[in-house]
Chains A and B, each alone.
Chain A
Amino acid sequence: MSEPIVKGRNLVKRFGSVVGLNHADFDLFPGEVLAVIGDNGAGKSTLIKCFAGAHLPDEGEMWVAGEQVAFKSTHEAREHGVETVFQTLAVAPALDISANLYLGRELRKPGFLGKVFRQMDKKRMRQESGQHLQDLGIMTVQNISQAVETLSGGQRQAVSVARAAAFGSKVIILDEPTAALGVRESAKVLSLIQDLRERGISVILISHNMPQVFEVADRIHVQRLGHRAAVVTPQTHSMNDAVAIMTGALQVPENEQTLTPLGSPA
């Protein structure tokens, strides 16, 4: 059995008197799609933000690819190959699409202009952004130098997903990536998730959309009251079971859970 690529133990995160994470455990195995579900306020976003480098947990330990980590910025998480689409999308509205894709990792011109004057290679950034968006197949962009704020909510989400997909090397975290998307575009994102899995990238998908979760996930992490209530699979449990676990109506003994992947994930 392979080791988890992302692992968390006993994670605690408090916001003043509010407890976001209450001794939460977490395991993501290489090459799997792990869905994280739970009620509003269950701590899903808080959990993934720890691995994304947006929060530093107050207690507990985290590992990425076997290495113990404590990310102080999203930049550090990225350097460990963890890329995130945040629920809030984290785009700079006034900047254009390509500037947003490369925000925080701008390409520099080769040679003197880049080294000494630190000039960005805008042309290459535009070309490659266009390519990334096209690869994604969820939107065709006429004008890559268009400000993100002039895009629709769904298009912004697509930009954010494209950014993660373009740069994620080991793990991609998607916090409700289809919330603003129509049926068709949601389907594209789901197929993107499957593509990513085929490329050997592990995916964490937070979603409230049960049919979606059951369609794409290998395992389902149910978060409740700030900790992991259970991990199940679409094969072992129904949607109703999952909802019951979320609300606390159903408790699953540990031996009926799927804490490690079943056999070898497809």
Chain B
Amino acid sequence: MSTEATSDLDLEEEFAVKRSPIQRLQMTLHRYPWLSSLIVLVVVVLIFGLVNERFLLPSTISLMIQQTVIVGTLAIAQTLIILTAGIDLSIGAIMIFGQMLMANFAVYTTASNVLPIAGQNPWVAIFLGICAATAAGAVNGFLIVRFNLPPFIVTLGTWSVFMGLTLILFKARTIQGPEMPDEMKLMGESFPIGPFNFSIGVITMFLLYLLFAWILKNTAWGTHVYAVGDDPVAAQLTGINTKRVLFSVYLVAGVVMGIAAYITIGRVQSASPNVDPMLNLQTITAVVIGGTSLFGGRGAVIGSLLGALIVNAVEMGLSLAGVDQSYRTTAIGLLVILAVGVDQWIRKVKA
């Protein structure tokens, strides 16, 4: 067999081609999709830090990270799903469902339509809540995979279903912090690390990010998630069981939503069905700003953490600068559009 190198197909030559700095930047961002969001975060922090020194106080930064914990954790689930070229509009509803189930099983309330089968044992209640969220994720996955339905429509439907189910089973009653045993609020416990103040929930979120970053990068399952999102037909032709991968993603996302439910109780110090109705969209915002492509197949989970932090930093920075809420909302919107534009540009990289 001939081993002489053919010059035409020689990558070295191919890439020795002079590239403009812009093209090189494009290539680099293409390789590391989260890099642009890291740059944005640093720039945002520097600008707001210069404008108002209170922005860089450890207490402000601690608060900002605390405020990110719910969206940040849910964004992990959303990232997994968006990597498969899907989307989950029911994330918030599933989280609330899991959270209400946990709280109602940990506390006996006459308002509830369910008996506290967990026997008011908080750990059993938490476990059941995570199981319920996992099952809800599995329902999404099943509908999408089995009947080949678009994730957008399925989760739009299940969003209402899980919301309704929550109200039917647990009524609209908020379970207040003092009603619940301390174990239920554990994720909200905070402790100092240096000048900063972290909650157990924040640490849990960070650990989840590390875990999923590792899994996506180092396991065959991770590779398959990317392959399925990138080109499902090609993935199937290479022998990947695309349906199983897709289903498993919704299942795993459900587990994460369940953990997010527990974290939320700690953060909010109560369990209410009226948590922020914008949660679904906020997770999508975080993922998109984090550099993960809505078309699937490219992105990194770490980017979504950066994305969630950017949103909070902009919110916080603008509000410290005395900017009105409506302008802040507008600014976040523009940021999302910018992020999508940058993604499109990065995707145009070709040899």
Interface residues of A (CB under 8 A from B): 52-54, 73-75, 78, 84, 86, 88-95, 99, 103-106, 108, 117-120, 122, 134-143, 146-147, 149-152, 154-155, 158, 182, 184-185, 188, 191-192, 195
- Beta-carbon contact of A92 and B6 below 8 Å: no
Of B11, B231, B235, B350, the residue contacting A146 (CB under 8 A) is B11
Given contacts A73-B239, A86-B237, contact A182 B297 (CB under 8 A): no
- Beta-carbon contact of B298 and A94 below 8 Å: yes
Contacting A at CB under 8 A, from B233-288, are 233-241
- Beta-carbon contact of A149 and B349 below 8 Å: yes
Assess whether B22 is interfacial by the CB under 8 Å rule. Answer: no
- Beta-carbon contact of B226 and A155 below 8 Å: no
- Beta-carbon contact of B1 and A191 below 8 Å: yes
- Beta-carbon contact of B9 and A73 below 8 Å: no
Residues of B in contact (CB 8 Å), total 40
Given contacts A104-B238, A137-B2, A142-B15, contact A155 B9 (CB under 8 A): yes
Given contacts A135-B1, A191-B2, contact A92 B11 (CB under 8 A): no
The interface residues of chain A lying within 8 Å CB-to-CB of B2 are 137, 188, 191
Residue-wise interface mask of B (85-115) relative to A, using a CB-CB cutoff of 8 A (1 in contact, 0 not): 0000000000000000000000000000000
The answer for the CA separation of A78 and B11 in the assembled complex, in Å, is 30
Residue-wise interface mask of B (2-39) relative to A, using a CB-CB cutoff of 8 A (1 in contact, 0 not): 11111011111011000000000001001100000000
Beyond contacts A75-B241, A95-B223, A155-B351: 16 other A-B pairs, Cβ-Cβ < 8 A, are A53-B239, A54-B236, A54-B237, A74-B238, A94-B226, A94-B230, A118-B219, A118-B221, A120-B219, A120-B223, A141-B11, A151-B351, A155-B11, A184-B8, A185-B6, A191-B1
- Beta-carbon contact of B234 and A89 below 8 Å: yes
In the complex, 29 of the A-B residue pairs with CB atoms within 8 angstroms, ordered by the A residue number, are A74-B238, A74-B239, A75-B239, A78-B239, A84-B237, A86-B237, A90-B237, A92-B226, A92-B238, A92-B297, A95-B223, A95-B230, A103-B239, A117-B219, A120-B219, A135-B3, A137-B1, A137-B2, A140-B12, A142-B11, A142-B12, A146-B11, A147-B31, A149-B349, A150-B350, A151-B11, A154-B9, A184-B6, A185-B6
The interface residues of chain A lying within 8 Å CB-to-CB of B10 are 139-140
**Cβ-closest chain B residue relative to A101:** B238
The answer for the CA separation of A156 and B33 in the assembled complex, in Å, is 22
Contacting A at CB under 8 A, from B23-61, are 27, 30-31
The answer for the CA separation of A75 and B236 in the assembled complex, in Å, is 9
The answer for the CA separation of A141 and B233 in the assembled complex, in Å, is 26
Assess whether B227 is interfacial by the CB under 8 Å rule. Answer: yes
